[in-house]
């Protein structure tokens, strides 16, 4: 506790799920948080932070437009006077199933929100970040290998992995770190249909069955990884994407031939 005292964090996609969990965790660690989302739930997240004794400001805007992100940055500077941490987290799936007939406009909307959005956030925050600044992007195991998500989503998250690596290199000598997290199957509003369907069909025990932990993850578990990467505890971690997926991405496909 207290590892973020005196720091200001911008968190996009904070109306729920991973973004909300990260905002609450960082605020408990002493950060002032600016929570942004196109959904009004960002206001609820800010209220939750304040109710817990933290400092928060909400911005309801499109986090993948120049004007939207410029507004977030302006609010952070106006209210808290600094930007030390960015968690570029906003994203959409664009549908849960692979489709070979995805329309160009639908494909590009996923790319806009999932890949262009983090880039705009990084670009707009950088002029206001000094030595010791930390950027964490939310990628996905779907961006590491095939089989974990629909095609546009997977391609966009692969782009986020590259964005982390190339931006970290471009910032050589600036003392600003850029890392990412690659969540596996995490229970969030975005994945709620999968979890709800499994439970409705009495197949809850199959959630996460492909990873060795045999379960899905929780948003709070990803928030812990984000907080680590954003903290001074990770001061020598840079240009990395940390998979938080129960070891799903550590293996090749196989059929278990043993029982517990």
Q: Which two tokens stand for residue 136?
A: 């964490």
* 17 to 22, 42, 142, 186, 206: CA distances (angstroms): 9, 11, 18, 9, 21
First to last CA, the chain: 37
d(CA 131, CA 156): 29
Per this entry, what is the length of the chain? 260
Burial class of residue 237 in the structure, from the number of CB atoms within 10 Å of its CB (0-12 exposed, 13-18 middle, 19+ buried): middle
- Residues 238, 248: Cα–Cα separation, whole Å: 23
CB atoms near residue 116 (< 10 Å): 17
Residues annotated as catalytic are 153
21's enclosing H/E stretch is: helix 17-28
Contact 211, 248 (CB under 8 A): yes
In this structure, are strands 32-37 and 134-138 parallel, antiparallel, or unpaired? unpaired
Half-sphere exposure of 81 (CA within 13 A, CB side): 2
């Amino acid at each position: 506790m207290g590892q973020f005292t005196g720091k200001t964090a911008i968190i996009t996609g904070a109306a729920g799920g991973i973004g909300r969990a990260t905002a609450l965790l960082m605020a408990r660690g002493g950060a002032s948080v600016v929570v942004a989302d196109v959904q009004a739930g960002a206001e609820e997240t800010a209220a939750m932070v304040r109710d817990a004794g933290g400092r928060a400001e909400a911005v309801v805007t499109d986090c993948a437009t120049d004007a939207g992100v410029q507004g977030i940055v302006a609010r952070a500077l106006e209210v808290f006077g600094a930007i030390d941490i960015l968690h570029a987290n906003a994203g959409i799936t664009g549908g849960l199933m692979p489709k070979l007939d995805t329309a160009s406009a639908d494909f590009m909307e996923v790319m806009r929100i999932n890949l262009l959005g983090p880039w705009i956030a990084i670009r707009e925050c950088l002029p206001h970040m000094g030595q010791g600044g930390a950027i964490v992007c939310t990628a996905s195991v779907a961006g590491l290998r095939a089989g974990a998500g629909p095609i546009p989503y997977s391609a966009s998250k692969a782009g986020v992995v590259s964005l982390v690596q190339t931006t970290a290199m471009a910032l050589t000598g600036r003392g600003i770190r850029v890392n990412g997290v690659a969540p596996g199957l995490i229970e969030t509003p975005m994945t709620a249909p999968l979890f709800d369907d499994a439970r409705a069909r009495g197949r809850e025990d199959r959630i996460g069955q492909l990873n060795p932990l045999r379960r899905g993850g929780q948003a709070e578990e990803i928030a812990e990884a984000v907080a680590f990467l954003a903290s001074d505890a990770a001061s020598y971690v840079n240009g990395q994407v940390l998979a938080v997926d129960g070891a799903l991405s550590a293996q090749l496909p196989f059929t278990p031939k043993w029982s517990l």
